[in-house]
Amino acid sequence: MLHPRLHALWLLCLTLAPPASAQSPTASVAKQTAPAPEVTAEQWRADLRVMAQEMERRHKNLYHTVSRERFAAAVSDLEARIPSLQRNQIIVGMMRIAAMVGDGHTNVSPLKDTKFGFPSLPLKLYLFEDGLHVRTAAPAHADLVGAKVTAIGGVPVQEAVRRATEISPRDNDITPTMYVPVFLGMPDILHALGLSSSRDVAVLTLVKGDRRWTATVPAGVVEPSWPSDTDISLVTPAGWADARTTSHPRADRPPPPSRSSMISAGTRMRSSSASPRARSRTPSATASGSRFPTAASR
């Protein structure tokens, strides 16, 4: 039987919940002002042991990617460190252990239950091949939209992404590209990964065009849980500035071509000697000049 502080394991998807005395899910959607209920180190250790036991009991092949010895060592390491860790650090430690299994349906995820109480920043990030960018933001932080994030808490963004990847569920290389930007938008996770000195803010180093600056962004609210098996990371809250609809969101990108220039370019293309194969590799411009994705294209 599961310990009262652990939510049921639905199939192979793990969702952690705090003690039964915690706030209700409805109340936790608003930014929490009351401290989380006190849980002793021994209670956390009991939760960790139950989690590990249930993962082995319920998973068809828990050790298909990670060895039994490495998994047990990770559990033992976290168990030993629990007395010196804060609540968010313990939870992120459990996220890392679940991620070691190496499949997309075995995870401890703050996206699945508001009882985690992990607020998100009032912005959303997106991971492109050329780096991490601010895709959308609340009106108070609209000037950040389109900026490239080069560091988080003074840590180069490549290292920040690597740390967040270690706690992400994974079916293949694509899976972390969905989860990592979301996790990097949660100050509790940033703090646990050594990317913030505080659980209440994130310090982002940004670049947009010729401008380079550092922004301190406070935590926002605990967002509603994601629906089952649904990626809503590209859903933009009402009233937020969105790079997909904002004119020319990236100052480092040229303006979109005019209709006359496109007609002229097409005439030159038809008269050129380039082969059809060579022409097919030429990227086409969108109407907005932005490469930010739409929800349907994800």
Q: What is the mean pLDDT of residues 19-30?
A: 38
Q: What is the mean pLDDT of residues 67-80?
A: 97
CB distance 18 to 115 below 8 Å? yes
Count CB-CB contacts under 10 A for residue 35: 7
| Integer angstrom CA distances of residue 293 from 44, 124, 126, 231, 243 | 41, 13, 9, 14, 9
What's the pLDDT score for residue 258? 47
Instruction: Please tell me which residue, 213 or 251, carries the higher pLDDT value.
Output: 213
For 284, the 3-state DSSP assignment is coil
What's the pLDDT score for residue 247? 54
Q: Is the pLDDT of residue 137 over 60?
A: yes
Instruction: Please tell me which residue, 180 or 17, carries the higher pLDDT value.
Output: 180
What's the pLDDT score for residue 229? 77
Tens of pLDDT, residues 158-217: 999 999 999 999 989 899 999 999 999 999 999 999 999 999 999 999 999 999 999 999
What's the pLDDT score for residue 14? 46
Q: How far apart are CA 229 and CA 246, in angstroms?
A: 29
Instruction: Please tell me which residue, 263 or 193, carries the higher pLDDT value.
Output: 193
Q: Does domain 123-242 have CATH number 2.70.98.30?
A: no
Q: Which two tokens stand for residue 126?
A: 């997106």
What pTM does this model have? Answer: 0.74
Percent of the chain past pLDDT 90, that is, above it, reads 63
Tens of pLDDT, residues 92-131: 999 999 999 999 889 999 998 999 999 999 999 999 989 9
Percent of the chain past pLDDT 70, that is, above it, reads 70
Q: Is the pLDDT of residue 18 over 70?
A: no
Count CB-CB contacts under 10 A for residue 129: 5
Count CB-CB contacts under 10 A for residue 138: 17
Judged on CB neighbours under 10 Å (0-12, 13-18, 19+), 93 is buried
- Integer Rg of the chain from CA: 22
Phi, psi (rounded to 5 degrees) for 190 = -55, -45
Name the packing angle between helices 68-81 and 87-99 (round to 10°).
180
DSSP per-residue letters across 125-160: EEEETTEEEEEEE-GGGGGGTTPEEEEETTEEHHHH
Instruction: Please tell me which residue, 13 or 59, carries the higher pLDDT value.
Output: 59
**What DSSP element (H or E) covers 202?**
strand 201-208
Tens of pLDDT, residues 34-58: 556 789 999 999 999 999 999 999 9
Mean pLDDT of the chain: 80
Q: What is the mean pLDDT of residues 51-77?
A: 96
- ∠14-230-135 over CA atoms, to 5°? 110
For 171, the 3-state DSSP assignment is coil
Q: Which two tokens stand for residue 292?
A: 């930010």
Phi, psi (rounded to 5 degrees) for 142 = -60, -25
**What DSSP element (H or E) covers 163?**
helix 157-165
For 175, the 3-state DSSP assignment is helix
Q: What is the mean pLDDT of residues 274-279?
A: 39
Count CB-CB contacts under 10 A for residue 235: 11
> Domain extents for the chain?
25-116, 123-242
